[in-house]
Structure 1
Amino acid sequence: MPIDPIPNFKREIDNFLELAVSEGIISDTVKSQLMVQDPQQQILYLLPKIRKCLNKPPGRPIVSGECYWQLKGTTMGASFAPIYADLFMGYIEEKLIYDQTHNIYLEELDIWRHYLDDCCLFDSIEERYMKLRSSVQKFTVSQIGVSVFKKKNGVPNRFVSQCYNFYLFPVCFAQIDTEFSVQASSSAFLSSYGFDFNKLFKKGIPYLNDVQEAALQNKLATGVFAIYRLLSGDQLKSFINVVTEWIVTAEEGSSIVLSGLSGLQVYDLQIILRRAIPTVWTELKSTTEVAVYKVSVEKRKILETSADCTLIEKAVNFARGFTNLFRILVEAHKPLVGHNLFLDLLYLHEKFYRPLPESYSEFKNNICCLFPCVIDTKIIARVTWKEYSFPRAGTLLQISEIMSSKLADEQMNPPEICHADECQLYVDHEYPHEAAYDAFLSGSALLKMTYLLLLKKDL
């Protein structure tokens, strides 16, 4: 403020008090008690509550210059106040939040957080989206499971499941070299359930979202890029030496085979050889081999124009990897079923479609376009548990076990779910937290819960 407003405030208050005395509302004694002779400018401090919002945190006001006698609670700023708050909140959590006997809403409690005595049962969906968005952008997708359910022809109430498990690893090609974080607790958790990290890093399937694919196509087409070499310097030098020594004496039309390659290396090597030597043509002989042919310059031009699919298109298609299957699933317009899959939807959008938008409403519209029918078995379980007196279940595996045992006990005629002949891994053994197994549990739980809900409706 440009001037100190206190003198004006004092003058207005003094005039108001004089008026009150003249009209007999207050006495001179009361006026003297209310009138401040030497008012001091007060300072309003705000302590930012960064735990609630990092960008625009709300403030906790603290007024200086006066002393107050606090009748209840502990004095703000006292060193023992946080200890009392922790003890109190610990009691509340033990008796009201985590006690399965008294908290009948425990399985419906998605979020519980507290900082000292400030607690939060839930964020708004927009706040939750923004927090998860930043996490999804930092991490990668290690594994995706797909379980396809089909009704068996000629057999009522019987379904066949086909399960597929995919290890994924971000593509490293041309100028795409994805950085991602690894959380120690998550890695330890996966390891305890037999996750194959060697398979992840050595044989993980690549993937691209739309933005990455467009950038890759542009860089490969223009040829102006610094390649993140999939071949080591010694490997590349060895292959080039073999080709340059061979081509000196080789006759036109003859060929040699370069082997010992893997993944995108077969395309990396072909791009390098074709751009470096105008009298060679390359073809993919197998997933680990490249055939090199000696051709004339004229023949090379004919081959380049007559090829059904360019080398760049083949390389991009290979780099697209799992995204090809993702697009097939989108085009199929089948229901997408999962358990507590809000976070899964964010990963699907970010890694295989487009980077997550800042707006939650835009994200929601995009998901609705990709998958018009999304079914969360966690929500269906809540409805089913309200209709039936089932024991509490917090995990997908618990829900599946309760459903199977209760349907058997009641001697009902539930849906019969069997595995396809080529997918027998999960017939006799459980593989909790393996992506395909969890996908199978989600689909089978949905079929059983739907059966029970329809049965209740008929009754």
Structure 2
Amino acid sequence: MVRVFLRTLTRIPSYCLSRATFSTDSSSFAIKNVTKSNFDSSLADLRRHIRDSDFVSIDLEMTGVTSSPWRESFEFDRFDIRYLKVKDSAEKFAVVQFGVCPFRWDPTKQSFIAHPHNFYIFPRQEVGDDGSSYEFLCQTSSVDFLAKYQFDFNMCVKEGISYLSRAQEDDVRLQLHSAYENEPSVSPFTAKQSKDVPLLRMADILFVERLKNKISEWRDDLLQIRNGVSRRTLEDSNDSIDQFQTIFFRTHPAIKLNGFTSRQLRLIKSIVEKSFKDLTFIRANEGSCFQQFIVYIDSKRDLELLMKEFKESRLKEAEMKIEAAIGFRHVIDLLSSEQKLIVGHNCFLDIAHICRKFVGPLPSDLEEYVALVKKNFPFIIDTKILLNANDTLQLKMKKTSTSLAKAFAVLCPHIASGVGSFGSAHTNSVAVEVQVDDMRSLNWNSGAKHEAGYDAFMTGCIFAQSCNHLGINFTSHSMLTKEVKLQSYINLLYLSWSSGDIVDLKTGNTRTESSAFNGLKIQQPKILFPNIVLIWGFPSKLKAQEIKESLTKVFGLTSVTSIFHLDKTAVFVQFSKPELVSDFLKLKSKIEKKNDAIYVLHPFSDLLEGGLTGAACYEVYKEICGSPISKPLFADQAEASLQMIPRQQKLLEKD
């Protein structure tokens, strides 16, 4: 969608601003881009805007949509399988931009105030020391599309805001507290009593003697200073090359060891343990690296207190690091806790990404997923469903495409055209003004194309104008989530727009909305899932019509009602009767076992040529789609996935 649009805006009342704002006729200032460098300050402003808002529109930009051609949404896909394909997409691809746009109705000006935010996010590993990192797929068409519209990949990777899901946060905190509780009570940061480091080289012997003298000299100086015998200071004990740096470690005199090799540090540790009862060797995490210290202690009790204090301090620092790593999820938590009406456009995949990235792993069952969404986001409205399901809005749209760009141009021409004043053609239009930091404009044009923040703004404008056409009174002070005229549309999402499959988040029920796609395609035979068999791995030279002919030669001319390619390696076949599925699977198995000269003449011989042809009933297709394995060709996916399926759920041909 090409989005070079201007905005019609109205004046923001001064009483609703926390700081001075400046009206401008310029339309060139940019959308609010948020990265990790300005996230904290932007979050504080966004928190206020969301709490004051009537609704919040969202939009996401991702690195891809389908991991394989066969994971596209097909006409033969059942509701639960459509969900599994969306689940796979949300698990495999990354969200790189997140648009959030709170809208607040201003009764004094009879207009909405919009605050579009464009967040760059990136799944950076901020906590954990296991060396692991996140992985995600990139679909070339999606990345090429982003690049076409000047998406800043460097900004995303370098400055993108990282995040932890709630499940990840729980896991990290559990690991942290488990490690804290299991650490020795005396000295968790002093390394355990080490084995003797063998002195195999003359250099080691000389090093040990030199360091022993150096440490002894430092200790003697320390005791003399403490006893008032010497007028020297601890800093006087520092050496010229700063390998021995005298500091205070938690109020205790200490040596900070710099520039030693790992072997030398082991030797120093051994020296301290063997030769100095009132010194302890400590390895502590300072910032992003570990640092070694030799610390003076008065007694064992003194050591215990030191280590207790240090443990608690390190725990607090780790918890602060986890809190910082939560990152962008603070925005999602805010949307969830405020329970505002969330507005999206064809947003089932968007919501799945939000739940996967910021809540936790997605369940395999559609009903469980619906419960998860309902718990975290109780009020969602999809503008695409709203436009397709309401007769008034269909007339306003002139029954044209309900794509985001088209709907914005048709329903919000006064905003899309950037006209600063309303003519007679726009007398029944809702005014929307945009504020970005201290700037606002009557003719705003961010210059952004296919940015999540801009798309979120367009989505919100479409919803506001739709509500206006439905006769909703914005000045009534009633919550939109309780608006009677919206109740039949709230929490309805398209599982698949192309098929018209809808899931009701209130009840978990699913249905097919024929009005969404009537007239868009030729009427197909009714899909009967018990009648469907899945065939894969056949010779690539075979086409759907040839496969159909081989089947009808055996089971009759009317036995096959339809056949459909998943990809070049697999087809769906719908028989006229459900019993023909098991008949086919049993006959296939029988032919493959015989494999004699007579069966070479069988009509199935071309289909089974090569011995790699597999087949299964429709329920096995669900198992294959739900497998964590990911192969580009369905035949490979099926063979790999079936090895993981329990034997009793495998192919009926084994009967």
Same fold (TM over 0.5): yes
SS at match of 2:354: helix
Q: 1:372 to 1:247 in 2, by over 3 A?
A: farther
SS at match of 1:177: coil
Give distance in 2, aligned partners of 1:159 and 1:269: 50
Give distance in 1, aligned partners of 2:285 and 2:308: 22
**Which one of the candidate residues 387, 399, 406 is aligned to 1:398?**
406
Kindly report which structure 2 residues correspond to 1:26-41, keeping only aligned pairs within 5 A, or say none. none
Q: Tell me, which stretches of 5 or more residues in structure 1 are unaligned? A: 1-113, 225-243, 257-266, 281-295
Does 1:190 pair with 2:187?
no
Does 1:363 pair with 2:369?
yes
Q: Is the 8 A contact 2:162 2:327 kept in 1?
A: yes
CA shift for structure 1 position 450: 0.9
CA shift for structure 1 position 320: 1.3
Instruction: Report the equivalent of 1:147.
Output: 101
Give distance in 2, aligned partners of 1:278 and 1:210: 40
**Which one of the candidate residues 310, 317, 321 is aligned to 1:315?**
321
Kindly report which structure 2 residues correspond to 1:179-258, keeping only aligned pairs within 5 A, or say none. 179-223=135-179, 245=242, 248-250=245-247
**Which one of the candidate residues 458, 461, 467 is aligned to 1:444?**
461
Does 1:432 pair with 2:441?
no
Q: Is the 8 A contact 2:393 2:466 kept in 1?
A: no
Kindly provide the amino acid, as one letter, of the partner of residue 193 in structure 1. Y
**Which one of the candidate residues 66, 88, 94 is aligned to 1:134?**
88
CA shift for structure 1 position 434: 0.5
CA shift for structure 1 position 405: 2.5
Kindly provide the amino acid, as one letter, of the partner of residue 145 in structure 1. G
Does 1:159 pair with 2:112?
yes
Instruction: Report the equivalent of 1:422.
Output: 437
Instruction: Report the equivalent of 2:346.
Output: 340
* Alpha-carbon displacement from aligned partner over 1:227-271 (angstroms, at most 9, x marks no partner): xxxxxxxxxxxxxxxxx9476233566999xxxxxxxxxx98527
Q: Is the 8 A contact 1:168 1:205 kept in 2?
A: yes
Give distance in 1, aligned partners of 2:397 and 2:412: 15
* Alpha-carbon displacement from aligned partner over 1:138-182 (angstroms, at most 9, x marks no partner): 111111111011122x52531111111111111313235211111
Give distance in 1, aligned partners of 2:402 and 2:144: 22
Give distance in 2, aligned partners of 1:409 and 1:368: 42
Q: 1:409 to 1:218 in 2, by over 3 A?
A: same
Give distance in 1, aligned partners of 2:438 and 2:459: 17
Q: 1:201 to 1:455 in 2, by over 3 A?
A: closer
Q: Is the 8 A contact 2:363 2:369 kept in 1?
A: yes
CA shift for structure 1 position 380: 1.4
Give distance in 1, aligned partners of 2:398 and 2:295: 74
> Highest relative contact order (Cα 8 Å, sep 6+), 1 or 2?
2
Which range is displaced more, 383-392 or 128-137? 383-392
Q: 1:308 to 1:385 in 2, by over 3 A?
A: same
Give distance in 1, aligned partners of 2:436 and 2:371: 38
Give distance in 1, aligned partners of 2:112 and 2:396: 24
CA shift for structure 1 position 418: 0.5
Q: Tell me, which stretches of 5 or more residues in structure 2 are unaligned? A: 1-68, 181-240, 257-283, 297-301, 415-421, 474-483, 486-655
**Which one of the candidate residues 372, 376, 391 is aligned to 2:378?**
372
The alignment's C-alpha RMSD in Å is 3.9
CA shift for structure 1 position 424: 5.0
* Alpha-carbon displacement from aligned partner over 1:312-342 (angstroms, at most 9, x marks no partner): 1111111111112211211001011110000
CA shift for structure 1 position 218: 3.3
* Alpha-carbon displacement from aligned partner over 1:388-429 (angstroms, at most 9, x marks no partner): 363623421221111123896634232211012517599223
Does 1:169 pair with 2:122?
yes
SS at match of 1:315: helix
**Which one of the candidate residues 119, 123, 133 is aligned to 2:77?**
123
CA shift for structure 1 position 297: 6.0
Which range is displaced more, 301-310 or 388-397? 301-310
Give distance in 1, aligned partners of 2:310 and 2:142: 48
Give distance in 2, aligned partners of 1:221 and 1:330: 27
Q: 1:178 to 1:414 in 2, by over 3 A?
A: same
Q: 1:348 to 1:446 in 2, by over 3 A?
A: same
Which range is displaced more, 215-224 or 130-139? 215-224
Percent of paired sites with the same residue = 27
Give distance in 2, aligned partners of 1:446 and 1:210: 30
Q: Is the 8 A contact 2:149 2:450 kept in 1?
A: yes
Q: 1:446 to 1:389 in 2, by over 3 A?
A: closer
TM (norm. structure 1) is: 0.57
Q: Is the 8 A contact 2:99 2:118 kept in 1?
A: yes
Kindly provide the amino acid, as one letter, of the partner of residue 144 in structure 1. F
SS at match of 2:378: coil
Q: 1:409 to 1:300 in 2, by over 3 A?
A: farther
**Which one of the candidate residues 331, 336, 348 is aligned to 1:330?**
336
Which range is displaced more, 179-188 or 203-212? 203-212
Kindly report which structure 2 residues correspond to 1:266-345, keeping only aligned pairs within 5 A, or say none. 269-270=286-287, 272-273=289-290, 276-277=292-293, 300=306, 304=310, 310-345=316-351
Give distance in 1, aligned partners of 2:244 and 2:367: 60
SS at match of 1:155: coil
SS at match of 1:381: helix
Q: 1:455 to 1:180 in 2, by over 3 A?
A: closer
Give distance in 2, aligned partners of 1:127 and 1:436: 31
